[in-house]
Structure 1
Amino acid sequence: MGPWGRAILSIKVSGSDETSGAHTGRLEIGRRRIELPGRLLTSSEFRSGKAAKLAEPLESPLLIVGKLFTPDHLKAATSAEAAWQRFSASVAATARLMPGAARLFQPEFLSVEFEDVEPLRALLDLQHLLSFDAITVPYGEAPSSEDVLTAYDFARSWAKKRRIDAALLPVVPPQERREDAAALLAALVKRGADGIGLDLDGGFPYHTLRAVEALKERHPEFWIHAFQVPPKVRFGGRLATSEGIILPYFGVDTFSRWLRPPPPAPVVKDKINVFDPRGWGVFRWHEQEKEYGSKLTCRCPVCKGKDLDGFFEPDDRAVLDLAKVHDHLSMDAELALARKRIGDDGYAAAMADHKFARPFLERVSRPEAE
């Protein structure tokens, strides 16, 4: 604990990898310990677990508390008392979904720009008032590097005035150039940041991830969490590679599923992407059937005892909930196995052993990828 009783964040590295940026270790937030690399549970996934009526609820040492903001929603919530009370009550209810878990706030902005620091101040106050274990420092949908640094400087001043010693986690968007990403990360390290929340924004920012990898070689204790991770990698053409499972290759410590606005049309189950633990790929219903047939080898509570048609038998919404739960449990199990390879034959070797991670590994290993 810090001098004012709030949880302190730290990473203890136990193993590193010569063939990639991956490393093993433990993230500690107060009394909670998270094995690295790891996948963190989102509030959306937790709710899907409840809807799926699992025998046991999903568990995680840390819950990502997600909230979508439109411009009107943010303006009302941060300037009008009634809207603020409704908003804070909603976030508080979500934060209580998993008693005993650490909580990290993920505000996701839809066409939102901060015109001044007041929305930031309100979001910082909210996290402090609700006793979040680390405090994210956002600044709208697509902040510049200068915005990120200004927001972090403001948050440090805010924390000092309120005698708050919880870790501050600036939210960093992808950068166009690797040098720009490296400079921004270096500036945050110099300012004393404990880590960053890297907003992937549903993409695969290769050069920013390479900058992260280089930073982690020099500062392995610096926490890198990736928000907004999409199902598949979009890199060099169409790949079936799962994006989350390959992020440790670049030194990412933890990651979480993307938070998306409701689709304009109802979800259709044969369009739902599902993680493939056999090959570390991602497939829709009939793509998976074409690749593997109807047999499911996954032993997670969602898949156990079912074939492919049985998995997709419920209605569309139920299949989406089941897919979210399966993705979290099966990927978490694969990461636990892969952690044993780091420091031994390496994370790249684990990727090479999986059919749909292998093509990605071959592409990022080429000189032209640099």
Structure 2
Amino acid sequence: MRRFGRTLVTAALAVAVVGGTAGWASGESQEAVTGPPPGTAGWRAATASGRALPDPATATPREVARFFAGLDEAACRELLRDHPLVVGNLEGAPVPLRYEANRIAIAATGEARYASLAAPDRRILAFDPRGRGQVAEVFGDLEHAERVSVIVPGSDNDATTHDARRTPNTGPAGMARALREAAGGSAAVVAWTGYTTPVGVGMDAADGRLATAGAARLARFTAGLDAVGAPDPVLFCHSYGSVVCGLAARHTDASDIVAFGSPGMRAETAAGLRTGARVWVARGPSDWIADVPNVRLADIGHGADPTSAGFGARRVPAADVQGHTGYFMPGTQSLEAFAAIARGEAQ
């Protein structure tokens, strides 16, 4: 009983510290976007060349890839025209077709806040306007890449904040751009704002509800990359995004998982993630996440500190990182190390 009491006090302290660090009142409860994309009902009622279409809710990405491999160009164009939201979000569908589908879907929303995503030079691999909006954007040539990395962001990210140019190298797209430039060569990087993230630092950030929903979406996304022949990805997981990656780890084929600015990964050790991926961690000296106690009580808190020696992850140098979002700033040790991991050169 005494041990339980200490745990309860520690958990309460964790909530208090999180609230004091970033403003408890700023946290707003979010409803996770789950399930197949908008337009699925119409898709299920349609056919292509006399064949039933793969159900977005139940077909595996490999089944989707095989289905599209059996279609001619005219049938693909018809599906693109009639069902852009489904095609654009269908894991396993051809990458160029998804880019084009999402340009159509984004333009069709008629919303100014999404307009920049429809520009001809953007490679939008997924776009879901439900809730606050979700988006995945590719930097580099995904179809021919020898190495692929995926940025999994934390709180306060959605389709409208995904590419916040006012804070370069910090948001999902900014991190992806910086990593793509640093990695060079034939590397491709995906900024995956593909789940409902917490807003502010409140209960949504302290519990695992949104991370659990996000992990399922991340696992399916990586299966979609595999289905179209992309290399096993490196997952770069920031803040609450590292909770998502921790829960998804055993369900992905990632070659490496990099957690930075992490409050915990819902495992007590790297081995507890039950993944064959190499696990890396980084935390800068001024990152406020260090002030969040690493506890777990029921679904509150995210467990052990991944940067602790006992966790057993490989360390990424981050002595010159400023704050919670400075890991991809040009010239930092962390960005140099991240680029080496992305290229498959780190040991």
| Fold agreement, TM-score > 0.5 | no
Q: TM-score, normalised by structure 1?
A: 0.30
Tell which has more relative contact order, 1 or 2 (C-alpha 8 A, sep 6+): 1
Q: TM-score, normalised by structure 2?
A: 0.31
